[in-house]
Amino acid sequence: MQMRTLIIDDERLARNELRRLLENFPKIDIIGEAANADEALPMIDELQPDLLFLDIQMPGKNGFELLQAIEGKAPDVVFTTAYDEYAIKAFEFNALDYLLKPIELNRLSEAIHRVEEELQHHSTESARPTTTEPGNRILGENDQVFVKDGEKCWFVKLGKVRLFESMGNYVRLYFDDQKPLVLKSLNALEDRLDAATFFRANRKHIINLAWIEKIEPWFSGGLLVTLRGGDKIEISRRQAIRFKDLLSL
């Protein structure tokens, strides 16, 4: 299985060096190079790579900012850095994969094998294929997104997000015991999310249907839904009608 790969680093020599090392891995298919976020974003959009080798320190947007700017599903990422004390702590804390420059061949090999396993896992797991044509990128429960809130960052599978809550210009994601904020509007997210899994319960909330534990009738013809984890969300009357249709109650 080929892994379509993009190398992103502002130093030409660093990109060359990585290219040279990657020649040792026939499964890695280098589909392009970018020197900064501005070059990289359209390439990611158009080419839809499986894997990014991403330098963190770059002029303009840094590596994290680039990831946050990706509309839609985030590819697998292996970060590269010469030495960044804080980033390294963040990586270890969040189990993100990183490589230290100058890169050691066996560390690179391990990272690539991990990605390979991840990608295989994805393809056997998805019951419903999520289309990868640009312009029609609906995110389903197996897709992952990159989330950064202050110092913490995560790659989250959307299936683990049980609730989205609008907070003005931001949206709060609820997964595990984390509640980070992302700079996106709830409406924009709704357009992106698979309607079969994610339901707009009311003006402020989108819920993950797989996390519903209990449904009760509520005031004015609405419904009160309890999610696994305890959150209680009201479904407005109008939405309740659609909800019942959706679940064919």
Partner 1 sequence: MGYSKHKIYWFCQITGWSLVIMVEWFAFWLDDGYDPDSVYLAMANILLGISLTHSYRHIIRRWNWVRLPFVQLAPRVLLSVVVLAAIMTFVNLPFDRALYPELFVDEPIVLFGYIMSWGKTMLAWVLSYTVYHYVERTRDAEIEKLLLRSSVRETEAKVLRSQLNPHFVFNALNSIRALVHEDPTKAQQGITQLSNILRNSLLADRRKTVELREEIKTVEDYLALEKVRYEERLTSRIDLDMRSLYWQVPPMMLQTLVENAIKHGVQKAMGGGFVEVTSWLETHERDQDRLHIRIRNTGVLGDKKASGGFGLENTAQRLDLLYGSPASFNIVQEQANIVCAEIVIPNQSEGLFRKSDKEQLLRVIK
SS3 state of residue 30: strand
Q: Closer to partner 1 at the Cβ: 11 or 118? A: 11
Q: Is 114 in the site for partner 1 (CB under 8 A)?
A: no
23 SS3 class:
coil
- 219 contributes a contact to partner 1 by CB under 8 A: no
| Contacts with partner 1, 4-43, as mask; x by CB under 8 A | -------xxxx-xx--x---------------x-------
Nearest distance from C-beta of residue 196 to partner 1, angstroms: 42
Nearer to partner 1, 82 or 183 (CB): 82
Q: Rounded distance, CA 18 to CA 101, Å? A: 10
59 touches partner 1 by CB under 8 A: yes
| Tokens 């984890």, located at residue | 229
Question: Of 29, 45, 84, 149, which lies in the binding site for partner 1, with binding defined by CB under 8 A?
Answer: 84
Token pair of 183 as six digits: 């700079």
End-to-end CA separation in angstroms for the chain: 42
Q: Which of 42-50, 76-84, 129-137, 153-161 is the region at the interface with partner 1 (rule: CB under 8 A)?
A: 76-84
Count of positions on this chain that bind partner 1 (CB under 8 A):
18
- CB-side neighbour CA atoms (13 Å) of 232: 6
User: What is the amino acid identity at position 234?
Assistant: E
Reference 163, options 149, 145, 147, 176; nearest CA is 176
Residues 6+ apart with CB under 8 A from 67: 54, 74, 77, 146, 148
Instruction: Say whether residue 221 binds partner 1 (CB under 8 A).
Output: no
Q: Which of 105/183 has CB closer to partner 1?
A: 105
Q: Is 107 in the site for partner 1 (CB under 8 A)?
A: no
Task: Name the packing angle between helices 12-22 and 105-125 (round to 10°).
Answer: 70
| Window of 24-32, 95-103, 123-131, 206-214 that interacts with partner 1 by CB under 8 A | 95-103
Please report whether residue 102 would count as binding partner 1 according to CB under 8 A: yes
The residues binding partner 1 (CB under 8 A) are: 11-14, 16-17, 20, 36, 57, 59-60, 82-84, 100-103
